[in-house]
Homo-oligomer: A and B are copies of this chain.
Amino acid sequence: MEIRPIAYYRGPLTEKFGTPRQAGLVPDLAGTVEFCEGFEPAMLDGLEGFDYIWLIWGFSMNNPDAAPSSKVRPPRLGGNEKMGVFATRSPYRPNPLGLSSVRLAGIDAAAGRLQVLGADLVDGTPIYDIKPYIVYADSHPDARSGFASEAPGKALKVVWEDPSVRDENLEAILSLDPRPAYHDDPSRIYGLTYNGRNIRFRIAGNVLTVLRD
Binding site for B on A (CB under 8 A): 1-4, 6, 22-25, 38, 40, 42-54, 56, 58, 70-71, 82-89, 93-97, 99-101, 126, 128-151
Q: How far is the CA of A141 from the CA of B6 in the complex (A)?
A: 28
Report 12 cross-chain contacts, Cβ distance below 8 Å, ordered by A residue: A22-B136, A24-B137, A43-B70, A47-B84, A52-B143, A89-B132, A97-B128, A133-B143, A135-B140, A135-B141, A135-B149, A136-B150
- On whether the beta carbons of A132 and B87 are closer than 8 Å, the reply is yes
Kindly provide the distance from the CB of A59 to the nearest chain B CB, expressed in whole angstroms.
Answer: 10
Of the residues B43, B85, B136, B144, contact of A49 by C-beta under 8 Å: B144
Q: How far is the CA of A151 from the CA of B137 in the complex (A)?
A: 8
Kindly provide the distance from the CB of A19 to the nearest chain B CB, expressed in whole angstroms.
Answer: 14
7 interchain residue pairs of minimum CB distance: A49-B146, A46-B87, A45-B84, A136-B151, A46-B83, A51-B143, A47-B87
- Chain B residues with CB under 8 Å of A149's CB are 135
Q: How far is the CA of A40 from the CA of B94 in the complex (A)?
A: 11
Question: If the complex has contacts A51-B143, A87-B46, are A1 and B58 also in contact, measured as CB distance less than 8 A?
Answer: yes
Q: How far is the CA of A129 from the CA of B56 in the complex (A)?
A: 11
Q: How far is the CA of A50 from the CA of B70 in the complex (A)?
A: 18
- On whether the beta carbons of B99 and A51 are closer than 8 Å, the reply is no
Of the residues B40, B58, B138, B144, contact of A101 by C-beta under 8 Å: B138
Q: How far is the CA of A2 from the CA of B2 in the complex (A)?
A: 5
- Chain B residues with CB under 8 Å of A71's CB are 42-43, 45
Task: Kindly list 15 other residue pairs between chains A and B, CB separation below 8 angstroms, not including A3-B95, A137-B151.
Answer: A4-B94, A4-B95, A22-B134, A24-B136, A38-B94, A44-B84, A48-B146, A49-B145, A49-B146, A51-B143, A134-B148, A136-B150, A137-B148, A138-B139, A139-B139
